[in-house]
Structure 1
Amino acid sequence: MLVLSAGDATGLFAAACEAVLAEGIEVRPRGMTTQEVMGAHLRLTDPRRRFVDLPPARVINPAFAVAEAVWILSGSDGPWIYDFNQELLRYTDGGVLRGAYGPRLRRWHGTVDQLDAVRRELLADADSRRAVVTLYDPQRDHSGHRDVPCTLAYRFFLRAGRLEMHTTMRSQDLWLGFPYDIFTATLIHELLAGWLGAPMGDYHHHVDSLHLYAHNRDGAMKAATDAAPVDAPGMAPMTVEWDDLEFVLGRVAVGDYAGVAGSAWAPFARVLASYRAWRAGDRDQARSLTAHIPGVLGAALGRWYDLRTTRSTPVIHTAGGAP
């Protein structure tokens, strides 16, 4: 069992890269060479420091991080997510990601809002062990669809007055998937803690197969070698009343930062508005909006644009987990 702990997602990512490179063995699922560690427990002690930011070794797309989190939290499997990552289209069946987390989280088989269920469970019994969100569905996921959830479940525990969160994954692409998955999961963690009136405890990320694909090995080596201590503060507290959640997510999804002005959600909305402007070719508007996004998200989005410009990548391909 690989056990790692860090105060910020960047440090945890770099440590995991180093460990998989050092301890991983070669396996070739579906003919693709990976370096894999079986059994990993990655603990993040400050979950609000959720953004992996390790330039130049690893520059992730903050617009996709925000968009995916909002897409999942709103219960959506709608095609608007492809505006932020067209690579996802490769995994669709009939234009739909059949493994999308959102519908499973917010309307399991069309009936159960699991996010609300765990909220109610912990409000009723603070010591409960039944605050579980299940994402893997055998009925759907053994039917041959291209997209099968890597995440099996989320679990939440109120202990010593703090909300702890555990995520279990059957599989984790450390390079492409981890930075985005931890962003969404810890946002769910923070929102639930707010609804319960509890501070956030540790975030625990359990992975059966933690792996790196061969074509990402050099990048992972650079990330592990170049990593330096991170002292940046966590993101601003992401709070919203339960009854206001759908409205806020809806405003953010369309980039309506005026509609959530004065809240910690306004920078999220600006990120999405900026990226849509970038894809539409209005680079001046995109940069202008970025300048008004505080903290790590604004800086990271500017770096993403810089990288896309340097590589002269066509606009249509500017989304996704790469480079």
Structure 2
Amino acid sequence: MQTRTSYPTFEAAYLDHLMAVRESPEYVNAPRGFHSQEILGVTYRIANPRERIVRIPERKSNLVFNFAESLWYLSGGNSLDFISFYAPSMKKYSADGRRLAGTAYGPRLFNCGGAGFNQWDSIVRTLQQDPDSKRAVMQIFAPEELLIEGNIDVACTLGLQYMIREGALHAVSFMRANDAYRGTVSDVFSFTFLQEVLATQLGLRLGTYTHTVGSYHLYQHDETYAEKVLAARTEQLSTEPFPAMPAGDNWPAIREVLSLEAALRTQRLTLRAGDVSSLGLGKYWTDVVVLFALHAQWRHAGTVDRALLDVLGPLYARLVENRWGVLEPLSPAE
């Protein structure tokens, strides 16, 4: 079992552990027929969880999907229409073609067990009443998931824990399994994003994030991709810091962003560069809406408004251009 290792950013942790599982795996196996190599008991800590992206051009980080998945969780819903607009491949995990179960963490967080228990509100109360508490835990994996014959959508995450220490909100995630090349990129983005939303809601500084995984694995079909990323590990798209979430309660802005996302996705709204200033959301959340608007343009019309892209800050613009091949046609997001 590996001991905890600390890193300044997620990218540093990502590269180190991708190399470890690729070059020095403990086991080689094929659960459900998917050949992989793995390391057991992986734990690493990120000193600055806001630096939650991989900036290496070869990795082609999907910033739009990362924000979409995080906000999908915060919406509390399980709609396949929402998340498959950004990742069509997720349709294969839906049993009924309309919803996702294990992959959809939102209902677990805000309507646990379908009984209306809001775990998010519960941990807010817990931490407000006792800032030293160790009980601020949101459970995600449900034991009954394993009772469903042939279940193809079992939650990979067991739970999330939050602790206030010396005026900062620290987070720890517990996962039964994590894909070292693909899954960990989106999972760490989402979990640190949720951590930052909670920290701003509580009026706290952003503390450390610790990622804990039972089986950290690399699938055989991703070995070539992993090799290319590791070979290009010194290259960077941008050195601009990842933007900080505004101080204070961000939930009103999040609800408005979710409303605008739905309108853009369903073509009830088209956003142009000249419309951006009227959103009234501030730079941070306006840029998220612009990302969704760019994606909607590309999905619906096959083109992207360059003027709208130029509204984004340099880091986001570089990530989008790198992902989409400098605005050339691209197959839909993975």
Aligned residue for 1:50? 52
Aligned-residue sequence identity (percent) comes to: 28
Residue 210 of structure 1 corresponds to 216
Taking the aligned partners of 1:31 and 1:282, their CA distance within structure 2 comes to: 36
Q: Output one character per residue of 1:33-76: Cα deviation in whole Å (capped at 9) or x when no partner.
A: 111000101211101111122112x1122111111111011111
Please give the per-residue CA displacement for 1:140-178, whole angstroms capped at 9, x wherever unaligned. 443133211101100001112211100000000111111
> Does 1:98 find its partner at 2:133?
no
Gap change, CA 1:192 and 1:88, over 3 Å in 2: same
The residue number in structure 1 matching 2:124 is 119
Cα distance, 1:39–1:307 mapped onto 2, change above 3 Å: farther
**What's the secondary structure of 1:123's corresponding residue?**
helix
Evaluate the alpha carbon distance shift between residue 93 and residue 240 of structure 1 in structure 2; reply closer, same or farther with a 3 A threshold: farther
After the TM superposition, which of the residue ranges 190-199 and 234-243 deviates more from structure 2?
234-243
How is 1:1-323 mapped onto 2 (pairs within 5 angstroms)?
1-2=1-2, 3-24=4-25, 25-56=27-58, 58-78=59-79, 79-95=81-97, 96-99=99-102, 100-110=104-114, 111-144=116-149, 145-228=151-234, 231-239=239-247, 241=249, 244=252, 247-254=255-262, 255=264, 258-285=278-305, 287-306=306-325, 309=328, 313=330, 317-320=331-334
Query: How many Å apart are 1:22 and its aligned residue?
Result: 2.4
Amino acid at match of 1:268: V
Answer whether contact 1:248 1:260 (CA < 8 A) is retained. no
Task: Out of 223-232 and 16-25, give the one that drifted further.
Answer: 223-232
Residue identity in the other structure for 2:38: E
Give the letter aligned to residue 67 of structure 1: A
1:297-322 C-alpha deviation (Å, 9 max, x unpaired) = 2211111111783xx64xxx4112xx
- SS of the residue corresponding to residue 319 of structure 1 reads coil
Against the structure 1 CA distance between its residues 238 and 10, is the aligned structure 2 distance closer, same or farther, given a 3 Å change threshold?
farther
Cα contact 1:47–1:202 (8 A) shared by 2: yes
In the aligned structure 1, how far is the partner of 2:314 from the partner of 2:11?
Answer: 15
Secondary structure class of the residue paired with 2:185: helix
Contact 2:321 / 2:327 at 8 angstroms: preserved in 1? Answer: no
Residue 308 to residue 4, structure 1, CA distance change in 2 (3 Å): farther
Contact residue 75 and residue 102 of structure 1 kept, 8 A = yes
CA RMSD of aligned residues (A): 2.1
Q: Is the 8 A contact 2:175 2:214 kept in 1?
A: yes
Unaligned runs of 5+ in 1: none
Distance in 2, Cα, partners of 1:103 & 1:131: 18
Count of aligned pairs: 313
Q: Following TM superposition, where does structure 1 have runs of at least 4 consecutive aligned residues deviating by more than 6 angstroms?
A: none
Q: Cα–Cα, structure 1 residues 149 and 249, in superposed 2: closer, same or farther, change >3 Å?
A: farther
Instruction: Give me the TM-score of the superposition, normalised by structure 2.
Output: 0.87
Structure 1 residue matching 2:154: 3-state secondary structure: coil
**Deviation for aligned residue 1:238:** 4.4
- Structure 2: state its 5+ residue gaps: 265-270
Cα pair distance change 1:194/1:30, threshold 3 Å: same
State whether residues 26 and 35 of structure 1, in contact with CA within 8 Å, keep that contact through their aligned partners in structure 2.
yes
Asked if the contact 2:253/2:281 (under 8 Å) is kept, the reply is: no
- In 1, Cα distance between equivalents of 2:312 and 2:168: 30
Letter in 2 for 1:223: V
